[in-house]
């Protein structure tokens, strides 16, 4: 699924080469690897963090397993990130040129998809 999303986003940018100024293509080529690197790094960090928590939990007694505030903080962070991702296209459309926000949105989709593909092949 991620391979299809990445390919479709790349094909979309290639089809729009005639209509988008070259500077915006440069924005795409610069922002896509940056987003892919950030998402991949976060995924690897969360994988290592969850593994360390799992190993700690297996060593601890059941009384020490309560982690309420940490879980609540993570849920709140995920909720805020979801709201931000839903609202960001609207905010970008009002503040930036339509080509710019469109290119950044497509580069975000491509970057996240490529990061997921790389994470799939990452040795676990």
Sequence spans of domains, the chain: 2-47+76-121
Tell me if residue 47 falls in helix, strand or coil. Answer: helix
Position 66 pLDDT exceeds 60: no
Contacts of 12 (CB under 8 A, 6+ apart): 106
Q: pTM for the complete prediction?
A: 0.68
Tell me if residue 86 falls in helix, strand or coil. Answer: helix
Least confident of 8-12, 21-25, 56-60, 76-80: 56-60
Contacts of 37 (CB under 8 A, 6+ apart): 115
Least confident of 4-18, 30-44, 69-83: 69-83
Helix (H) or strand (E) holding 22: helix 22-59
How far apart are the C-alpha atoms of 89 and 109, rounded to whole Å? 12
């Amino acid at each position: 699924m991620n391979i299809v999303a990445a390919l479709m986003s790349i094909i979309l940018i290639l089809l729009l080469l005639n209509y988008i100024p070259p500077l915006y293509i440069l924005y795409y080529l610069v922002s896509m690897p940056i987003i892919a690197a950030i998402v991949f790094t976060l995924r690897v960090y969360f994988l290592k963090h969850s593994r360390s928590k799992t190993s700690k939990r297996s060593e601890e007694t059941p009384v020490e397993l309560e982690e309420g505030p940490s879980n609540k903080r993570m849920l709140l962070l995920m909720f805020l990130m979801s709201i931000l991702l839903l609202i960001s296209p609207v905010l970008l459309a009002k503040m930036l040129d339509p080509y710019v926000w469109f290119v950044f949105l497509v580069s975000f989709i491509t970057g996240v998809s490529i990061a997921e593909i790389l994470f799939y092949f990452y040795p676990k």
